[in-house]
Structure 1
Amino acid sequence: MNKILSVLCLLLFFSFSNVNAQNFSTHQVKKGETIEAIAKRYYIAPSEIYALNPDAKNELKPNTVLIIPISKAKKPKIKIVKDLQGFKNHKTKRKETLYSLAKKYNVSEDDIKKYNKFLYAETLRKGDKLQIPIFKITEEIVEEPTKNYIVQPKEGKWRIAYKFGISVKELEELNPEMGDVLQDGQEIIVPNIDDDKEREVDEKYSYYKVRPKQGFYRLEKETGLKKEQLEALNPGLAESGLKVGMILKIPFSESVLIEESNKINLTDSIVDFNTKHIAVMLPFRLNKVDFQSKEDTKSSIVNDLYLNASLDFYSGVLMAVDSLKTLGVSLKIDIYDTKNEVGEVVKILDDNDFETVDAVIGPLAKPTFERVASQLRRFQVPVISPTRSDLKLYDNVFQSKPFDERLKTTLINFVKADTLVDNIVIISDSKHTEISNNLKKEFNQARQVYSRKNKKTGKDEFYVTKQDIEDILKPGKNIVFFETKDSGFISGVTSILASLIKQENKETKTEAVEITLVTTNMNNAFNGDGVSNEHLSKLQFHYAATSKPYSEDDNNAFVKRYNQIYNTTPNSAAVKGFDLTMDVVLRIVTSEDLYLSVNNIPLTEYVENKFGYKKKLFGGYYNDSVYLVKYQDLTIVEVKQ
């Protein structure tokens, strides 16, 4: 028994020593109080209270003492208000004193004297008849722990969280109805700290969001900064310690910039209802269509890839025009057939007045597009490319398809950000040796596996054995990069990887082996007939993409309407036609012009595509927004970063 008591005392001693060392306070729960109300009072998150007081999740009893973190909290100033409700008669007994009566009735000695004035001149004696005041005690907050804040232009959640010294999660818990995206002028609740303690985001630095289970050791591995360096850059970190969602200032690094969602719904922001003039240039190549019979016409359409793509894209444009009309947008739209010929484009430009056109969408092919862009530069008419990512960025060019390099860096940064990875493997064929070696430079500890080659010819045979892969997998979480364009190779490797996933089994002493498949170059080979979607789903196949497939379960209005009109679901070209047209026109009618919209409207998103343009220092504009997606339960879903 003595041993148990000793251990218990030590446990309590170290527990309260720890509380004092980390600068915590306490709060005694009153009847009717909730965790949410207490958290709001100290402007901390309910999760912070639960972390220190796990029993509070089950039941919150009056008089329970809670441990409250105050390292960043400004305790509210409270005034005690006493409202006299009446009196209770009391006849003094032997040995009773003013002190004992005050304690018994929970009033002060001065309160008793105030309503029994003879006690100012005489001492209390046995038999004295007293009026003991009965008060209703209330607390009046003189200074609120939180205040209202108006969201400034371009401010997202992490910037505001950093400014007021809290995590993004804490900001969201203070504002449960704030929404996923903050709007300019939106009013939210923030901690009521002094103005001189508010922190400003310095663009000369990068900002890093702390992830679950991430300590100083893993932070040093990822950022190269020791604990002391992080504490020097982030005053208050030494006292509070690391917390999930905390925003840390670090030296500038492009690889750890926080992705911030500043998506804006432009349909609510239309200010210009004057008629806008748009031109669309597509390679219909109608001159090559055989109209002699219905069958000949059908055959021409089926066999002409340019015409197919143009018709699909154009069907999306028409849907967008119809949607814009319902929003009150007046639009004049000209459609031109470029025939996929530079000569035809020159003729179109010479024969028509483009000086008053607000924007040109297309052409699709690089030579025709660059000819249009170069000729319309003198009028500063913006020209938007729907499909190319390798264009010459004249100062009037808007490249809506993100650069391929952006896709690659997004995927690599995602893997780098996963602090729970135990092993990285790179599988490739000989055509992708350079990519494999570049990945090896990014992940020094990664193991490389190459497809087997024919011993006589030395050519790739596009396969590896189960043993080749099994030998370099480790217990725990394995990330496998797979770089190839061979569908058969993909089919074989994904089948092997799926078979090597293991669940932990303590009876057989089997350790868990998790495998996540990724690629920096998503291509049609991964959609080949021989590639099992079940295997890709089991491997949680991740990749970066310029668009994300819409879900038919979302009941999207565009998809439903398209189905009604064309009796089929829209493909990616039709969706791109709709998304791009909606974005271009809505940017024009919500800003002075398309150029100014880049600063006013950081990010927009529609059915499958999002647009966040950046400007080249000496050139045009490029879309820098991509998706990270994965296979999950035989569907493709977005991965929130």
Structure 2
Amino acid sequence: MLFGQAESIDSSIVEKNGRKYYTYVVEQGNTLYSISKKYKISVKEIELHNPGVKEGLSIGDTLYILAVAKDKGVKKMKMEVNGNVIVHEVQKGQTLYAIAHIYDLTIVDLIEANPGVKDGVKEGQLIKIPVAKLKKQEAAPVVQEERSVRLHLVKSKETLYSLSQLYKVSAEEIKSANNGLVDGLKVGQEIVIPDPTNDLPIHKDSTEMKEVYKIAVILPFFLDLNDTLHASLKINDKEQVLSKSVVAIQFYQGCLMALDSLKKMGMRFDVKVYDSGKDSNVVDGLIEKGELSGVDLILGPFYQSQFTRVAEYARKKKIHIVSPVPLSNKVLLGNSYTSKVATSDNILFRNLGEYVSKFYHTENVLVITKYFRANTLANSFKKAYNQNLFVKGDSIGNGLKEIKWDNGSIDGIKAQLSDSVFNIILIPSNDQVYVTELLSKLNLLKDKYMFKIIGVENWMKYTNVDLEYYENLHVSIPTDAFIDYESQAVKKFIVSFNNQYKSFPENFSFLGFDVSFYFLKLLNEGGNRFEPLMEGRKEKYFSRNFDFFKTGIESGYENS
């Protein structure tokens, strides 16, 4: 079964607000970039008519794509103008640089056709696009210097200097690509970043693009400890397979499902799978024997010590390596060729702080902890919550209350509770004894106060907490993974997986598919240096969302 986008435009045409649109239903694996290529329009144009897509795509979403040229602000001129130009209407935020990129021209081409635009263009302005040059390029394609373009959303405290250092271009080049930036940089402003260096390209020359990419998958199968685990890696009798091997098998099966889908989309990969066990000497042996030489992408290993060693080799060879499972963020430091799929707890609680401030800012929000200053999760939540209220200029929202509780009486907590609104209480603790006692005491107050308790993922492993506490206190656990089993796409995947393996896909099966499909498709799309394509690219898969950000100028990418 193919979990990807269709290859032909078979959308129906509808009329909306006096304009004609194609309607396109988002499928698994679709991105704004792939859809823009399908319809031969820019990503910005899709966003213009579908504002909600900036928050990410979801399977089943309906997009509206302008169906006629005049609605796109591009009008054919009459034959009196040599029949050899079209007119482009400048859209909001567009620059000469961006327009040249849309039509695969140079800025010089545009200025020659429009002498008056030397100092920049304005929204609504009509400029000529020399079709003769476009036809010439189509008829006789030649290898030429490609001017790569990407967009950057300006963040607080960023300057032209910091951006020039980040993207390895001069401040003057950034200004030139953005009509001089006469008003300077503004937070939230979207600007064009010209010509990334060889280390950070968006569009690569042919040396970075391949017909077939080599992939190394390194997983802890523990083959030497399993008499019943055959080369086919199919589970015939789960009880006879080492329990710690099952995770690797499930991930690998999901990976194979992704490869099958990608193959049906015309993508080709040469995949080699290695058993890492848990001994770091095993991965050292792979490196020493040259097994990873010439590889384009590495998935795994799962264990921190092994991953660190392989990541160092990948950094030296400029090979992108992906950690599919939770590891310390130390693996990202100083290695821009590393990605971590699992969201760290600090980022998770930062996102949680933004969410609570957006949807529950009028409720009574409290954070209860034993050692507040030392609790990084509490501080991440607090900072994001307060900052989001400040940015919104919210004068109605309630401030966050910090409560230190070290077992014993909860009179201090009761004094801060409200009996008129929900009490949203964050308890960022992994101390089972502490959590159990606190929940039991709060449960005694359930009839007088309305609660929504937010805990941490480890709570799901606790066996001594009364399940009634979770129900009575409306406990929620933030996580970076969620599988919607009511989704039609998930149901189709389950059927396909069962047909292939005669078993039900587990969490790691979905993870294996998601990680493999996302990164292999990205590799096929951007070549060996696909990293810049990751930033700002939001995609939803079966078990998780992908929205990577660069953790530092010389460091890797974390999924937020």
For the criterion TM > 0.5, the same-fold answer is: yes
Could you list the runs of 5+ residues in structure 2 that have no partner in the other structure? 1-14, 20-39, 74-88, 94-120, 125-150, 158-184, 190-208, 231-236, 387-398
Distance 1:568 1:431 in 2: 46
Residue in 1 that maps onto 2:425: 480
Q: Based on CA coordinates, which of the two structures has the bigger radius of gyration?
A: 1
Aligned with 2:241: secondary structure?
helix
Which structure ranks higher in relative contact order (CA pairs < 8 Å, sequence separation ≥ 6)? 2
Aligned with 1:619: secondary structure?
coil
Q: Report if aligned partners of 2:535, 2:548 keep a CA contact under 8 Å in 1.
A: no
Residue in 1 that maps onto 2:286: 348
Residue in 2 that maps onto 1:392: 331
1:32-181 residue pairs with structure 2 within 5 A?
Answer: 152-153=42-43, 160=48, 179=62
Residues 595 and 493 of structure 1: is their aligned pair in 2 closer, same or farther, counting only changes over 3 Å?
Answer: same
Distance 1:202 1:360 in 2: 30
Shift of 1:561: 2.0
Residue in 1 that maps onto 2:86: none
For residue 548 of structure 1, the aligned residue among 482, 485, 495 is 482
Q: Determine whether 1:560 maps to 2:560.
A: no
Deviations 1:301-330 (A, max 9, x none): 34x52x232222222222222222333322
Aligned with 2:261: secondary structure?
helix
Q: Determine whether 1:446 maps to 2:401.
A: yes
Distance 1:554 1:481 in 2: 34
Distance 2:347 2:46 in 1: 22
Distance 1:40 1:345 in 2: 62
Residue in 2 that maps onto 1:277: 214
Q: Determine whether 1:573 maps to 2:508.
A: yes
Residues 384 and 204 of structure 1: is their aligned pair in 2 closer, same or farther, counting only changes over 3 Å?
Answer: closer
Residues 483 and 517 of structure 1: is their aligned pair in 2 closer, same or farther, counting only changes over 3 Å?
Answer: same
Distance 2:153 2:249 in 1: 48
Shift of 1:570: 2.2
Q: Report if aligned partners of 1:273, 1:328 keep a CA contact under 8 Å in 2.
A: no
Q: Which amino acid aligns with 2:426?
A: F
Distance 2:553 2:516 in 1: 26
Distance 2:527 2:238 in 1: 44
The 10-residue stretch of structure 1 (493-502 or 608-617) with the greater mean CA deviation from structure 2: 493-502
Residue in 2 that maps onto 1:401: 342
Distance 2:494 2:404 in 1: 43
Deviations 1:212-235 (A, max 9, x none): xxxxxxxxxxxxxxxxxxxxxxxx
Aligned with 1:392: secondary structure?
helix
Shift of 1:409: 0.9
Q: Percent identity among equivalent residues?
A: 20
Distance 1:338 1:429 in 2: 40
Q: Report if aligned partners of 2:403, 2:413 keep a CA contact under 8 Å in 1.
A: no
Q: Report if aligned partners of 2:367, 2:378 keep a CA contact under 8 Å in 1.
A: no
Q: Report if aligned partners of 1:426, 1:436 keep a CA contact under 8 Å in 2.
A: no
Which TM-score applies when normalising by structure 2? Answer: 0.56
Residue in 2 that maps onto 1:68: none
Aligned with 1:284: secondary structure?
coil
Shift of 1:425: 2.1
Shift of 1:569: 2.8
Q: Which amino acid aligns with 2:283?
A: V
Distance 2:46 2:474 in 1: 30
Q: Determine whether 1:592 maps to 2:537.
A: no
Distance 2:437 2:494 in 1: 36
Residue in 1 that maps onto 2:548: 613
1:215-254 residue pairs with structure 2 within 5 A?
Answer: 252=187
Q: Report if aligned partners of 1:398, 1:621 keep a CA contact under 8 Å in 2.
A: yes
Distance 2:545 2:229 in 1: 42
Distance 1:446 1:553 in 2: 38
Distance 1:181 1:532 in 2: 50
Q: Report if aligned partners of 2:229, 2:241 keep a CA contact under 8 Å in 1.
A: no
For residue 241 of structure 2, the aligned residue among 278, 292, 301 is 301
Aligned with 1:545: secondary structure?
coil
Distance 1:318 1:597 in 2: 26
Distance 1:430 1:596 in 2: 39
Residue in 2 that maps onto 1:335: 273
1:349-388 residue pairs with structure 2 within 5 A?
Answer: 349-387=287-325, 388=327
Shift of 1:587: 0.9
Residues 553 and 445 of structure 1: is their aligned pair in 2 closer, same or farther, counting only changes over 3 Å?
Answer: closer
For residue 451 of structure 2, the aligned residue among 511, 515, 518 is 515
Aligned with 2:424: secondary structure?
strand
Residues 403 and 483 of structure 1: is their aligned pair in 2 closer, same or farther, counting only changes over 3 Å?
Answer: closer
Q: Report if aligned partners of 1:603, 1:611 keep a CA contact under 8 Å in 2.
A: yes
Distance 1:567 1:591 in 2: 35
Count of aligned pairs: 386
Aligned with 1:323: secondary structure?
helix
Distance 2:323 2:378 in 1: 33
Distance 1:486 1:592 in 2: 46
Q: Which amino acid aligns with 1:547?
A: A
Aligned with 2:422: secondary structure?
strand
Which TM-score applies when normalising by structure 1? Answer: 0.49
The 10-residue stretch of structure 1 (523-532 or 372-381) with the greater mean CA deviation from structure 2: 523-532
Deviations 1:555-596 (A, max 9, x none): 522222223444443222222111111111111222233525
Distance 1:496 1:181 in 2: 53
Q: Determine whether 1:583 maps to 2:518.
A: yes
Q: Which amino acid aligns with 1:301?
A: V
Residues 447 and 366 of structure 1: is their aligned pair in 2 closer, same or farther, counting only changes over 3 Å?
Answer: closer
Q: Report if aligned partners of 1:345, 1:372 keep a CA contact under 8 Å in 2.
A: yes
Distance 2:64 2:452 in 1: 30
Distance 1:351 1:201 in 2: 42
Q: Report if aligned partners of 1:178, 1:188 keep a CA contact under 8 Å in 2.
A: no
Deviations 1:463-521 (A, max 9, x none): x66x665443112232111122245654565566567567xxxxxxxxx95432224xx
Deviations 1:28-78 (A, max 9, x none): xxxxxxxx99x989xxxxxxxxxxxxxxxxxxxxxxxxxxxxxxxxxxxxx
Q: Report if aligned partners of 1:436, 1:448 keep a CA contact under 8 Å in 2.
A: no
1:183-202 residue pairs with structure 2 within 5 A?
Answer: none
Shift of 1:435: 4.9
Q: Report if aligned partners of 1:410, 1:544 keep a CA contact under 8 Å in 2.
A: no
Shift of 1:447: 4.5
1:601-640 residue pairs with structure 2 within 5 A?
Answer: 602-625=537-560
Shift of 1:604: 2.3
Q: Report if aligned partners of 2:372, 2:404 keep a CA contact under 8 Å in 1.
A: no
